[in-house]
Structure 1
Amino acid sequence: MQNESWHLEDFVDSLVVELDKTRETLAVKALNKPLSYTVRDLSLDLNIFPAYDGDQISFTTAQAGQEGASKVTIQLGTITDQQVRATSKAPVGKDEVKIDTIDVDKETKKKLRKIGVTSADDLKTIERKNVAIDQAGDSGIDYSSLANKIEKSRRARQPPVVKSASLIADAEAQPCLVIKGEKLAVNSKFPPVALIDGLLADVTASSPGELRIRVDDPAGFATATELVMMVDPYAVMRVNLQQGAAP
């Protein structure tokens, strides 16, 4: 059998899975037998050859008779769920943006992992503690560009949706196009921009569920009309409108 290299993370994960299986078996066995045996702690001595490729460390187990190997001792001890929660960072939420999923180069991701940043929420936590991350971390990271890419990725997960469009008269008896939907204007710092057939239109009101756009020539909607809406820097929508047709 070929002696393949392996990573420490994979090796330890495999050991833990096997130990978890043992405990699950004991949980069933305990229903019938009041006394049994289990593994409390595990210690392994390994003779290995480490190799570093500039990014990851891998190991190859020494074969019988091979010399020059390094000795590594791995000890696994028991830990309770309370200890895990007290000493570990909470898992990344399903709606949170992971650094590994955004469009940044491999070297930047590596530098972020070195300072413990694996998600957008980690960056926010550092900022809330008033830490100058560009000074505490690697000066080679463009944090402004990184923040933009994170917001772009987050917006892509929750894109705006148009559900309906209608023409009404507003409070000033002026024709107004009402766009209803979800996650439309969600950035309070960015006023939405609208173009009707290439001409800038006045967005009179905006919210996550609705946009109101002043219309100069409502008769133009008798034929196909293109509406372009930029609701924030990361979301642009194009909708073809015509009276009597669904958007």
Structure 2
Amino acid sequence: MARMASGDENIAWNLESFLNSMIYELDRANQTLAIKQDNVKLTYTVQDLSVTLQVFPQYDGDRVRFLTAQPGQEGASTMTFQLGSIRDNQIREIARKPPSRDDVTIDDLEMPEEERKTLKRLGINTTEDLRRTVEEKRVDIEQATDKKVSYRKLAEVINRSRRQGIQAPRVREVSLSVPPNGAGEAMLSLHGENLQVEPKSGDAEEGVFPFALLDGAPLTVVAASAGAVHLAVPREKAAQLSGALTLALDPYAVLTMQLAEKPTDLEDNAEE
């Protein structure tokens, strides 16, 4: 009768980690050659590697893992694969570029795990992959996933993630200018980065944001750009300007800060 392996003798493994470990060992062998070339006239290296394993596949409905068959075990499947060498220029031609610092990976988004897995099965691993698939390739992502993924809902998650990460707004300086001779309103200016993102044509929020409140009272937004937001402040309030300022830049970025009597001395409690 076949001997069954205990848990201590045999541990399930996945193919990716197994191959990565083997390739790592082969890479180390090649690195050793760089040193040996100065010390020996003749040596040997592995050009191609063929591996045949007797394994028991395990599938949990999502991932496949393998148990290596022990001597005497019956019913194992045969798995054969070959490792061949590849040059750096070939890698550049076929491999996907790693995510840039300006991109957001699907793993970083707050979304149902089933949707994440569905996107990955389509080769979509970053928000740029998704944008390119939907906007450039004109793929109906809802139809392609049997309505498991809603692009509209996913776009909201992506926008929120960007505004909390690489496109997070930051206020660096606040200044107040008061017109001479008591003419007109004062101008409260906030300078920083990512204070405005370009709305897409047709966005429901276009024209609504930004808006500002000072102690709950609305302030007029005179002008807004990525680098600055200018707010009109009634002259009577500007004389002793203080209080809680709330600045909603878009649906995904709201800044709150406490103004002191001198606007340059502010306590920034930004909530993004």
TM-score by length of 2: 0.85
Amino acid at match of 1:176: M
Confirm or deny that 1:175 pairs with 2:186: yes
Could you say which residue in structure 2 is the equivalent of 1:187?
A: 198
The whole-number CA distance in structure 1 between the counterparts of 2:186 and 2:28 is 68
Confirm or deny that 1:21 pairs with 2:31: no
Change in Cα spacing, 1:69 to 1:220, as seen in structure 2 (3 Å) is same
Change in Cα spacing, 1:226 to 1:37, as seen in structure 2 (3 Å) is same
Unpaired runs of at least 5, structure 2: 1-7, 201-205, 267-272
Quote the offset at 1:175 in angstroms: 1.2
Quote the offset at 1:224 in angstroms: 3.1
Could you say which residue in structure 1 is the equivalent of 2:250?
A: 232
The whole-number CA distance in structure 2 between the counterparts of 1:120 and 1:145 is 13
1:154 to 150, 159, 162: 162
Give per-residue Cα distances to partners, 1:94-126, cap 9 Å, x unaligned: 221000111111111111011110100101111
Give per-residue Cα distances to partners, 1:11-51, cap 9 Å, x unaligned: 00000000000000001111222432110001111000001
Quote the offset at 1:174 in angstroms: 2.5
1:50 to 54, 57, 61: 57
The whole-number CA distance in structure 1 between the counterparts of 2:117 and 2:220 is 45
The whole-number CA distance in structure 1 between the counterparts of 2:138 and 2:41 is 55
Change in Cα spacing, 1:138 to 1:20, as seen in structure 2 (3 Å) is farther
Quote the offset at 1:236 in angstroms: 0.3
The whole-number CA distance in structure 2 between the counterparts of 1:22 and 1:154 is 42
The whole-number CA distance in structure 2 between the counterparts of 1:242 and 1:55 is 56
The whole-number CA distance in structure 2 between the counterparts of 1:137 and 1:149 is 18
Could you say which residue in structure 1 is the equivalent of 2:105?
A: 98
Confirm or deny that 1:243 pairs with 2:264: no
1:7 to 14, 27, 30: 14
Q: Which stretch shifts more, 118-127 or 222-231?
A: 222-231
Once superposed, which parts of structure 1, at least 4 consecutive aligned residues long, lie more than 6 Å away? none
The whole-number CA distance in structure 2 between the counterparts of 1:170 and 1:68 is 88
Could you say which residue in structure 1 is the equivalent of 2:140?
A: 132
The whole-number CA distance in structure 1 between the counterparts of 2:79 and 2:39 is 40
Quote the offset at 1:188 in angstroms: 4.1
Q: In 1, are the aligned partners of 2:141 and 2:150 still within 8 Å (CA)?
A: no
The whole-number CA distance in structure 1 between the counterparts of 2:138 and 2:92 is 25
Quote the offset at 1:220 in angstroms: 5.6
Q: C-alpha root-mean-square deviation of aligned residues, in Å?
A: 1.9
The whole-number CA distance in structure 2 between the counterparts of 1:170 and 1:223 is 15
Q: Which stretch shifts more, 218-227 or 39-48?
A: 218-227
% identity of equivalent residues: 40
Give per-residue Cα distances to partners, 1:168-195, cap 9 Å, x unaligned: 1479842111111222123345531111
Q: In 2, are the aligned partners of 1:175 and 1:218 still within 8 Å (CA)?
A: no
Quote the offset at 1:164 in angstroms: 2.1
Q: In 2, are the aligned partners of 1:221 and 1:242 still within 8 Å (CA)?
A: no
Change in Cα spacing, 1:9 to 1:96, as seen in structure 2 (3 Å) is same
**Number of positions where the alignment pairs a residue of Structure 1 with one of Structure 2:** 247
Q: In 1, are the aligned partners of 2:52 and 2:81 still within 8 Å (CA)?
A: yes
Q: In 2, are the aligned partners of 1:187 and 1:232 still within 8 Å (CA)?
A: no
Q: In 1, are the aligned partners of 2:213 and 2:219 still within 8 Å (CA)?
A: yes
The whole-number CA distance in structure 1 between the counterparts of 2:89 and 2:179 is 58
The whole-number CA distance in structure 2 between the counterparts of 1:131 and 1:141 is 13
Confirm or deny that 1:164 pairs with 2:193: no
1:32-111 pair list within 5 angstroms: 32-111=39-118
Change in Cα spacing, 1:42 to 1:6, as seen in structure 2 (3 Å) is same
Give per-residue Cα distances to partners, 1:30-89, cap 9 Å, x unaligned: 122243211000111100000100110000000000000000002101111111111121
